[in-house]
Amino acid sequence: MPDTITITDDRTGKTVTVPIEGGVFPAAAVRELDPSLFIYDPAYMQTAACRSAITYLDGDNGILRYRGYPIEQLAEHSTYLEVAYLLLNGELPDAAQLTKWKQDVTAHTFIHENMRKRFVDGFHYDAHPMGMLVSSLAALGTFYNDAKDIFDKPSRDKQILRLIAKTPTLAAMAYRFSVGLPFNYPDNALSFPANFLNMMWKIGDYEVDPRLERAMDVLFILHADHEQNCGTTAMRVVGSSHADPYSSCAAAASALYGPLHGGANEAVVRMLSEIGSMENVPAFIDDVKSGKGSRLMGFGHRVYKNYDPRAKIIKQTAYEVFEVTGKNPLLDIALALEETALNDPYFVDRKLYPNVDFYSGLIYQALGFPVDMFTVLFAIPRTVGWLAHWQELLGDKDQKISRPRQWYTGVDARDYVPVAAR
């Protein structure tokens, strides 16, 4: 059977046959038929917007691989910084490369004092930490005017290092500001996750528990990249105009802020708290199914029509964290929701399974993070995913500035009428 597709325009009888490769065919085929014809695809449900070699998803079988490595193996054996190197460079580092990479990232964890003293202090006392992070990412770019030299590789690599290294510092700074605590400077003798936890929690004598350090590293690995999700698409769209990487990351973080995307981990914990007890689960599920209530947050996915492989690993990690912190009382409600939904035709027929956000919030809450920090915890590791796709975009000869067309459904031409005559 030939790997081609033939499209015929019945209005003209014109036919075009194009190859199918990697599960896609070029939309240029439509241009060949009729340049004024466009494919209507709201939310890009059936569109491959780019070629990418970074992350592979198989939604039907619940498979996720970074540069070919199964997420399960990376979560068990790797670290976030090693995975960050893999996503950016395409290969795992050897020992010397990993040592240098860690040193390079560590060298960039500090932020300019003006960011801490002037910029952050300008926020309202109850500013949402994710709103602060989005703003801080864009503001950070104003300290590095060389960031605009996006085709100068040494400069581009330095901005990538700065963003990976400084995002945890900005995140911890937003939290400390929101609770009125003094800012903790990075302690570069610590690992990437331990440095973040230390900046978050250090008051007096504070030691990072190695079990929690490892749990944070696993969560960072699981959230590092996920193909062409909403936030990464925003990164690519803004990056396609050749904006600097700080502005592009701020756009990506803004998309992640939405409750249908990265904001779902915060929405899940609020949902579980509102449900309040296992006895209330059946009534809540009925409410969701009626379409009148909220969605079952943390369930469903545009790509995964099976169990999100990350959710399985996070659920296991939750038990390991609870051994240290004590069980999050909301876990029983989450387990009851999952059990009910996985056996209810409404969810089964729509292929709605737990996604990455369903259990992650329970861990964050058990670790002491306030709910409004949860999406910030998603943004920290996803920064390297955004940057890996931004870097790939800049090197892709197929890519131009993103500028889709539309299906115009407005009124036809009409003449202006002065207000007196309306």
Catalytically active residues, by annotation? 261, 301, 357
Q: Are 236 and 49 in contact (CB under 8 A)?
A: yes
- Write down the least CB distance from residue 82 to ligand SDX, Å: 20
Amino acid residing at 369: F
Q: From 182, 186, 184, 144, select the one nearest 162 (Cα to Cα).
A: 144
| Per CB under 6 A, 392 contacts ligand SDX | no
Between CA 367 and CA 378, with CA 372 as vertex, the angle to 5 degrees is: 70
Considering only the stretches 107-115, 259-267, 331-339, 360-368, report the one whose residues sit in contact with ligand SDX under the rule CB under 6 A: 259-267
Cβ of residue 69: shortest distance to ligand SDX, in angstroms? 17
Contact 362, 269 (CB under 8 A): yes
169 in contact with ligand SDX (CB under 6 A): no
Contact track, ligand SDX, 226-245, x by CB under 6 A: x--xx---------------
Spatial distance between the Cα atoms of 267 and 416, rounded to a whole number of angstroms: 47
Work out the burial of residue 50: count CB atoms within 10 Å of its CB; fewer than 13 is exposed, 13-18 middle, 19 or more buried. middle
Among 148, 158, 214, 295, binds ligand SDX (CB under 6 A): 295
Q: Looking at 146-154, 238-246, 296-304, 412-420, which segment touches ligand SDX (CB under 6 A)? A: 296-304
Contact 75, 218 (CB under 8 A): yes
Instruction: Give the Cβ contact number of residue 319 at 10 Å.
Output: 12
Q: Work out how close the CB of 193 gets to ligand SDX at its nearest, in angstroms, rounded to a whole number.
A: 19
Task: Find the shortest distance in angstroms from Cβ 265 to ligand SDX.
Answer: 8
How would you classify residue 9: left for phi > 0, otherwise alpha for psi between -120 and 50, otherwise beta?
beta
Q: Is 302 in the site for ligand SDX (CB under 6 A)?
A: yes
Select from 288, 333, 367, 384 the one that contacts ligand SDX (CB under 6 A).
288
Q: How far is the CB of 92 from ligand SDX (least distance, A)?
A: 22
Counting contacts by CB under 6 A, is residue 300 touching ligand SDX? yes
Interaction between residue 297 and ligand SDX (CB under 6 A): yes
DSSP-assigned states of every residue in 323-352 = HHH---THHHHHHHHHHHHHT-HHHHHTT-
Q: Return the residue matching tokens 């990249």.
A: 225
Residues 209-228 as x/- pattern, contact with ligand SDX by CB under 6 A: -----------------x--
- Residue 24 DSSP SS3: strand
Please pick, from the candidates 80, 201, 299, 374, the single residue that binds ligand SDX as defined by CB under 6 A: 299
Q: Does 389 bind ligand SDX (CB under 6 A)?
A: no
Q: Which 3 state secondary structure label does DSSP give 135?
A: helix
Considering beta carbons, is residue 288 or 314 the nearer one to ligand SDX?
A: 288
What tokens were used for 243? 């904006």
Q: Which residues bind ligand SDX (CB under 6 A)?
A: 226, 229-230, 260-261, 264, 288, 295-303, 350, 352, 355-357
